[in-house]
Structure 1
C-alpha cells in the first residue's frame, strides 16, 4: 500500500517539503524512472550535445554567436516597441527566459544581453561608412534549428512534469501500488499535454502584451527626453523591470502547468488565474524554492561556462572536457528530477492549504477520496 497524503501536508515548512521531495525520489524511484528516462534524460542529452558543440567550436577558433559587422548600425525602426518584442521573443531566447528559471542551467551562460535593445539604439546614428565587403545574409537554418530545439525541449519538459505529477498524485491517493499505473499514465499524457499547450499559449499572449506595455513608456521617454536624461540608467531600469515581470510570469506559469495537468477543469487562462492564489498560500516556501532553484541553475551555468571555454585555453584536452561534461550532465539530471518533485510537493501543500482556507475540503470516507488520481490503473 502507498501511504496517502502525509500528515499536515498543507502546513509543512520549506525544509519538510524539500525532505519530502527526496523521500519520493528514493522510495518510489521504480515508479518514477520510466518517465525520467523517457523525458528528462533526452532533455539533458540535448543540453549536453549543445554544450559539447559550443566547446568544440570554441576550441577550433569559431564563436557560436558571431558579433555583427562593425559597420552595421541599427535602423530607426529599432526604436519601435515591436522591434523590442522581436528581440525578446527570438525562439531560442524565449526558451531561456521562460524555462530556466525553472528548467535551465546549461544554456543560461550564452543567453546574454544580445537579445535586448541596448542604449546605443537611442544614440544619434552616425553617417554610414561604406563596407568593403558585402554583408552575408542572416542564416535561417540556425534560427530554425533553435526553434526546433526549443519546441522539443518544451514537449519533453511538459511531458515530464505531467507524468511525474500524476505519479505523485497516485502515490498520495492511498491506493495500491500497481505497476500498471505507468502504462496508464503514459496513455493519459496527450490530454494533459493539450491542456499545458493551451496554458502556454495564454502565457505567450500575456507576456507579449505585458512586455509591449512596459516598453512603450520607456520608448517615449527615450525618444523625447534622451538629451536631458541618462540613457543608460533608463535602459537599465527597463531591463530590470522586464526581468522582474518575466520572473513573476515564470513562477505563475510553473504552478499553472501543474494545475492544468492535475485539475482538468482549470487550464489555459483559468490555470494562470488560479496559480497566484496557490502561490500566495505558501509564499515563503515558494520564494525560497525559486531562490534555491535560481542559485543552483546559476551554479550549473558557471560550471558549463568553464567546461565550454577550457578547450580554448589549451589547459585540458577535449576528451577530458567531454568526461567532465558528462559528469555535470548527470548532476544536472539529478537536480532537475529532484527540484521537479519538490515543486510538485509544494503544489499539493499549497492546494491543501488553499482548499482548507476556502472550505473546499468535503467530509469524505476512505472510499470517497476527493484526491483520487485522474489516471486509473489499466488492465494488462
Structure 2
C-alpha cells in the first residue's frame, strides 16, 4: 500500500497537486473510506438536517422525524405541569447551536487528522498491517493539538476584526451618525479582506498541527504562513477552490431546502436531491482535504529544501526525505508486530 514521496513533489504546480489528490482518492479509497464514513458522513447528515429543519419550520411545519414525537417534545419543553421553563428561548437556541458547532468542529477535525495520517502513511515507505487501527488510535493526540491551534486561530481572528473595526468606530463617533452607513459598509469590506488573508495564511495550520507534533498552536500558524508563501500559487488555487466550491455547495443545500419549504417539487424528489447532495458533499470534502494535504507535503519539501533543513538534503542523502514518517501506532500494537 505504501509508495513513498512522489518524485519532484517540491516542484509540483497546481495541476499536479489536484491530479495527485484525485489519484489518492481513487487508488486508496478503500483505505480512506472508513475515516470518510466515520467523520465526514455524520457532518453531511447534520448539515442536511439543520438546513431542512430550518426549511420545515420556516414553512410552518414540523420535520417528519419530530412529528411522531411532537407530544413528547412538547411535554419535555413545557414541563410536567404545563408551565414553560424560565430559560428564555434564545438561550436554549444558543446552547443548541453551540453544541452543534462543537460537534461539527470535532467531526471536521477528526476527518482532517485521519486523512492527513492516511496520506502520511501512503508516503511513508513503512508497511503497517494495522495502519487503519493505528491511525484511529493516534487521533486523540492530534485532536488536542488541533484544539489549541483552533483557539489561536479564533483569538487572532477576533483581534484582527477588532483592530480593523476600531478606526471605523472612531470615525463614526467623530462624525456622529452622519456617515454611519458608509463607515459600516467599508468596515465590513475591510473585515472580509483581512479575515480572508488570515485564513489563507493559516491554510495549512491544521496539517502542520497533525503531522508535526512539535508545531501546534501559534507555532503551527507561523509554520503554515511560511509554507503557504513558499508555494503561493498552488496554495492560492487550493484556497480559491475550497472557497468557491464550498460556497456553491452551501447555496445548493439552501436551494434544495427552499424547494421543500415552498412546496415547488414533490417531497420524494427533495429527498433524492438531498441524497445526491450528500454524496457530492462527501466527494468534495474528501477530495479537498486530500488536495490540501498534498499541498502541505509539496510546500514542506520546497520550503525545507530552500532553507537547507530537509532531512537527507542537508546531509546529501537520497530517497524519501521524510523516511521514516511516523505512523503513530499504539505500543501494544508495536509489541504485537514485534512478536509476529
TM class by smaller structure: 0.7 to 0.9
* Deviation for aligned residue 1:175: 2.1
Cα 1:154/1:367, change in 2 over 3 Å: closer
* Deviation for aligned residue 1:314: 2.7
Instruction: Please identify, of 238-247 and 278-287, the stretch whose mean Cα deviation from structure 2 is larger.
Output: 238-247
For 1:154, the equivalent position in structure 2 comes to 105
The one of 321, 339, 346 equivalent to 2:295 is 346
CA contact under 8 A between 2:202 and 2:225: conserved in structure 1? no
For 2:213, the equivalent position in structure 1 comes to 264
SS at match of 1:296: helix
For 1:231, the equivalent position in structure 2 comes to 180
For 1:32, the equivalent position in structure 2 comes to 32
CA contact under 8 A between 1:21 and 1:345: conserved in structure 2? yes
**2:193 aligned with 1:244, yes or no?**
yes
Question: d(CA) in 1 for partners of 2:113 and 2:95?
Answer: 27
CA contact under 8 A between 1:20 and 1:342: conserved in structure 2? yes
For structure 2, the residue ranges without an aligned partner over 5 or more in a row are 63-86
For 2:93, the equivalent position in structure 1 comes to 142
For each residue in 1:272-300, what CA deviation from the matched residue of structure 2 results, as whole angstroms up to 9, or x when unmatched? 11111000111111111111121212221
Instruction: Please identify, of 182-191 and 368-377, the stretch whose mean Cα deviation from structure 2 is larger.
Output: 368-377
CA contact under 8 A between 1:166 and 1:262: conserved in structure 2? yes
The one of 175, 198, 207 equivalent to 2:126 is 175
Question: d(CA) in 2 for partners of 1:369 and 1:226?
Answer: 60
CA contact under 8 A between 1:166 and 1:373: conserved in structure 2? no
Question: d(CA) in 2 for partners of 1:225 and 1:215?
Answer: 16
CA contact under 8 A between 1:48 and 1:326: conserved in structure 2? no
Give the structure-2-normalised TM-score.
0.84
SS at match of 2:328: coil
For 2:3, the equivalent position in structure 1 comes to 3
In proportion to residue count, which structure has more helix?
Answer: 2
**2:157 aligned with 1:207, yes or no?**
yes
* Deviation for aligned residue 1:232: 2.4
Cα 1:25/1:303, change in 2 over 3 Å: same
CA contact under 8 A between 2:134 and 2:327: conserved in structure 1? no
Cα 1:367/1:204, change in 2 over 3 Å: closer
The one of 283, 297, 301 equivalent to 2:250 is 301
CA contact under 8 A between 1:55 and 1:307: conserved in structure 2? no
Give the structure-1-normalised TM-score.
0.75
Cα 1:198/1:359, change in 2 over 3 Å: same
* Deviation for aligned residue 1:371: 4.7
CA contact under 8 A between 1:51 and 1:308: conserved in structure 2? yes
SS at match of 1:372: coil
Question: d(CA) in 1 for partners of 2:211 and 2:36?
Answer: 19
The one of 148, 160, 168 equivalent to 1:218 is 168
Question: d(CA) in 1 for partners of 2:4 and 2:22?
Answer: 16
**2:118 aligned with 1:164, yes or no?**
no
* Deviation for aligned residue 1:34: 1.0
Instruction: Please identify, of 248-257 and 287-296, the stretch whose mean Cα deviation from structure 2 is larger.
Output: 248-257
SS at match of 1:360: coil
For 1:92, the equivalent position in structure 2 comes to none
CA contact under 8 A between 1:58 and 1:309: conserved in structure 2? no
SS at match of 1:254: coil
* Deviation for aligned residue 1:254: 3.2
Q: CA RMSD in A?
A: 2.1
For each residue in 1:116-142, what CA deviation from the matched residue of structure 2 results, as whole angstroms up to 9, or x when unmatched? xxxxxxxxxxxxxxxxxxxx9552111
* Deviation for aligned residue 1:315: 1.9
CA contact under 8 A between 2:10 and 2:302: conserved in structure 1? yes
Cα 1:368/1:334, change in 2 over 3 Å: closer
For 1:277, the equivalent position in structure 2 comes to 226
Cα 1:367/1:353, change in 2 over 3 Å: closer
